Amino acid sequence: MVTSPPTGAACRFALMAALAIVATSLVHADQSLRAYRALGMEVGDVLNGTVLQAQVRPNAGKEIVALVTAFTGKRDNDAAVDVHLAVLRPKGEVLETVFMKRYHETVGAPVARGELQLIDFDGDGVQEIVVRYDVERNPLIREREGEVLVAESTGFRVAWQGRLLYDATRAARDVAPDRRDHWLREIDFPETLRTRGITLFLRKTVVAVAGERLPEPKRLRETAPLLEAPQGR
């Protein structure tokens, strides 16, 4: 059995998490409009969006980070909506695109409901990018995926990627009985911060197995490598 950290440690890690996002701020509405237009969007195209200002690249200063779920203008239902991630650099009166990722193109399936979070896992003053989004491969299966992106000299690297929610309990015709599970994962930020981002901790809650709801949810702890240890540690 995994025991929780002492109350004092838990409070300390919670404070670390709070301090890690101090350098992140919501931008003004007009800056959000500039970000949308830099992505070729009008306000009417946007279903939901988060636009933040933070340092996400070493020695780059604060830049605009936007995750926007928007209509694409395409008639194909599978491609009608996309989730766009962009890092934008102010250049005069415009925002210049430093990095762009479109999740429909990456995943190869309909995507929606993007969510953005920035957090400095290793305490170096540079925020890592956490993205979550729904994937709609099958209307009867609920799926939500996520990833953590970190800056490198050549751009941004996906340091971790995985499924955060899976519910196939309604897909009786499309999924084998032993795969009709329902579970969700959450990133455990305090535990991950405790390792300075070297190890990603996840809390998994299993609600149903093979289509049968468990009497009590089963809770598990999972780990995955995330950031490289600094040299000399």
Q: Where are the domains of the chain?
A: 12-225
Q: Would you say residue 116 has pLDDT above 60? A: yes
**Which pLDDT score, from 0 to 100, does residue 21 have?**
44
Per-residue pLDDT reduced to its tens digit, 4-61: 344 454 445 445 544 444 445 556 678 889 999 999 999 999 999 999 999 999 999 9
Mean of the pLDDT values across residues 139-165? Answer: 96
- Which amino acid makes up residue 227? L
Res. 232 pLDDT band, cuts 50 70 90: low
Cβ contacts of 192 within 8 Å, gap of 6 or more: 121, 199, 200, 201, 226
**Which pLDDT score, from 0 to 100, does residue 80 have?**
94
Does the pTM surpass 0.85? The reply is yes
**Which pLDDT score, from 0 to 100, does residue 22 have?**
43
